[in-house]
Amino acid sequence: MKIPRIAYCSPVNPAPSGISDYSEELLPYLGQYAELTLFVEDGLRPSNRLLTQQLEVLPLRRLPRELRRRPYDALVYHMGNSPAHAGIWRSAQRLPGVVVLHDFVLHHFMLWYAANVQRDIQLYVRAMLERYGEPGGHIAQLMIRSRFSDAAFDFPCCEPVLAQARGLIAHSHYVAERVAALSPALPRAVVPMGVPSPPPIERNAARARLGLPQDGAILASFGHINAWKRIEPTLRALAALRAEGREVRYLLVGSVSPNYDLKGLIERSRLSEAVRITGYAPREQFEDYVAAADICVNLRYPTGGETSASLLRLLGAGRPTLVSAVGAFAELPPGVVAQVDPGPAEGDQILAYCRLLLDRPELAEQLGQQARSFVAREHTLAQAAQSYIRFLARLYGWPMVVRHREQPLWHPEPTATSAASVAAAPAPQPLPPASPLVQTTANAMQELGLSDSALLRRIAQRITEVS
């Protein structure tokens, strides 16, 4: 029986995108069903040797020639709100395939793409005006002046991606329903995001390695830190808990947006002694921080429609976790997370949940166990690969789905690689003084959590050449 051949286009490490880790974990399981050729950004050399040992890896510039030379049975593009997807977006415009849409809102990417690749930021401004009318044009003018607004999330800028897609894979019904509203005829599927099972780590041992006290409660947030992560209401809840005489500390594990005055916020809250900003945490330390936490706070509002792999890793580690009741996060079933409603009562809900979970450790333990069971049941890599293959088979008309290999091509390490290497990436280094256009695009990139200083400087240089 013929084994289907898939052209798989995605960032991989060292590309600065959480989707790099996502693909490196999924690919060995997809390889049980199909022969895979991995297409990566021109000039990128995968740091994971297993990719080049087990797969054919080619630059994206070779994709048109390869499609003519030996037709593939499916073409898959991974699209997210990051410059790491620039080559993928260029290819997807010319050679339509199935798009895996990791973020419904691609606004920051389209702004960056117009300035850096098309080298004409007014293309972004005109597209916003034509697509969304006067409100879109107004937001565009704010964005190019680095006046970032929550209202930007109301203008997803994903329509060009959907228009060129042959099919679409989403990781939440939230995204699938919004895609259906914009492109009703586009075939689509909701595929569970798969994550590897994290290793068990003992709480007190993790705290000892990190130099954290054995007694006292610890709250922790993970990922790139900006105004959308609801740090301010969490700090208010922390202050209230400490005013009650509780020895509670708060860990912020991740890079900090240069546009967000986190240290000033903490100082004004008089919580400097109770808050630790870790910045970049190597993989082992990241896992220790997860194990050391009594409660994880994974809030975000507004949402770009993302499904968070780092959140699934927290749940898979059995940590009781607070999430914002918006977007894909609202789809998590009862008893798996504590959902916080954005709005006037947000801070009160954070405080109430923290009191409950700290006062009732048996409830916190139960919530963590149910979270771990949920991830092990609904979000395995094997399930994700099978769902991918079934959708591709249906869309491309394959006769049947057959698992040609009993075992994955390799077994991904059961670690929190994505969150450690991307969400908790090294703090971005400021760029030297530059033109407003350079600074605008750099700020947009850094707001997304992109911390590769060399990449930022190369982009700044290229913009400077044409600005």
pLDDT tens figures, 93-143:
999 999 999 999 999 899 999 999 999 999 999 999 999 999 999 999 999
Q: What is the pLDDT of residue 427?
A: 37
Give φ, ψ of 62 to 5 degrees.
-85, -10
Quote the CA–CA distance of 210 and 335 in Å, as a whole number. Answer: 30
Mean per-residue pLDDT, 420-434:
38
26 vs 438, which has greater pLDDT? 26
Helix 107-116 × helix 436-447 angle, to 10°: 150
CA dist., res. 173 & res. 386, Å (int): 18
Residue 417, pLDDT above cutoff 90: no
- 52's tokens: 């080049």
Judge whether 142 and 92 are in contact, CB under 8 Å. Answer: no
pLDDT at 372 over 50: yes
- The reported pLDDT for the residue numbered 303 is 83
Average pLDDT over residues 404-415: 82
Average pLDDT over residues 7-32: 93
Whether residues 306 and 331 fall in one domain: yes
d(CA 372, CA 350): 22
Residue 419 placed within a domain: no
Residue 121 is predicted with a pLDDT of: 93
Long-range contacts formed by 163-166: CB under 8 A, 24+ apart: 164/92, 164/93, 164/96, 165/92, 165/96, 165/97, 165/98, 165/99, 166/75, 166/96, 166/97, 166/98, 166/395
Kindly state whether residue 36 falls inside one of the protein's structural domains. Answer: yes
**What per-residue confidence (pLDDT) applies to 307?**
84
* C-alpha–C-alpha distance, residues 187 and 168, integer Å: 6
Q: Which residue range is the domain that position 208 belongs to?
A: 203-378
Q: Are residues 42 and 108 in the same domain?
A: yes
444 versus 56: the higher-pLDDT residue is 56
Is there a single domain that holds both residue 42 and residue 158?
yes
Q: CATH number, domain at 311? A: 3.40.50.2000
Both 61 and 129 in one domain: the answer is: yes
214 and 363: one domain?
yes
Please check whether residue 105 is in contact with residue 153, taking contact to mean a CB–CB distance below 8 angstroms: yes
% of the chain surpassing 90 pLDDT: 73
CA 255/CA 430 separation, integer angstroms: 13
Same domain, 188 and 241: no
CB 9 within 8 A of CB 60: yes
Instruction: Give the span between the Cα atoms of 170 and 306, in whole angstroms.
Output: 9
* pLDDT score, position 458: 42
- 10: tokens are 């995605």
pLDDT at 263 over 60: yes
Choose among 440, 441, 420: nearest CA to 20. Answer: 420
Average pLDDT on 152-178 reads 96
* pLDDT exceeds 70 at position 300: yes
| Bridge-based pairing state of the strands 35-40 and 56-59 | parallel
Same-domain pairing of 187 and 232: no
Question: How far apart (Å, rounded) are the C-alpha atoms in residues 62 and 33?
Answer: 24
- When divided into structural domains, the chain yields a total of 2
The verdict on residue 420 lying in a domain is no
Shared-domain flag, residues 452 and 353 = no
Across 38-58, average pLDDT? 95
Same domain? 174 vs 214: no
What does the mean pLDDT of the chain come to? 87
pLDDT of residue 39: 98
Q: Are 96 and 76 in contact (CB under 8 A)?
A: no
213 vs 438, more confident:
213
Helix, strand or coil for residue 261?
A: coil
Same domain, yes or no, for 25 and 76? Answer: yes
pLDDT tier, 50 (very low <50, low <70, confident <90, very high otherwise): very high
pLDDT level of residue 413 (50, 70, 90 thresholds):
low
Q: 278 by DSSP, 3-state: which?
A: coil
What pLDDT is attached to residue 466?
Answer: 32
Cα–Cα distance list, 293 to 36, 51, 201, 256, 290 (Å): 39, 34, 11, 20, 6
* Selected residue with higher pLDDT from 74 and 21: 74
Residues 282 and 179 in one domain: no
Task: Please check whether residues 142 and 39 belong to one and the same domain.
Answer: yes
Determine the average pLDDT of the residues in 184-190.
97
Looking at residue 421, the DSSP 8-state letter turns out to be I
Average pLDDT for 236-256: 95
Please, are residues 297 and 221 in contact by the beta-carbon 8 Å criterion?
yes
What contacts 362, CB < 8 A, 6 or more positions away? none
pTM attached to this predicted model? 0.84
Distance from C-alpha of 164 to C-alpha of 443, rounded to nearest angstrom: 29
Helix (H) or strand (E) holding 303: none
- Asked, for residue 39, whether it belongs to a domain, the answer is yes
Residues β-bridged to residue 74: 6
Residue 144 forms part of a structural domain: yes
* The predicted structure's pLDDT at residue 429: 37
User: Does residue 405 form part of some domain?
Assistant: yes
For the stretch 381-409, pLDDT in tens is: 999 999 999 999 999 999 888 999 999 99
pLDDT class of 415 with cuts at 50, 70, 90: very low
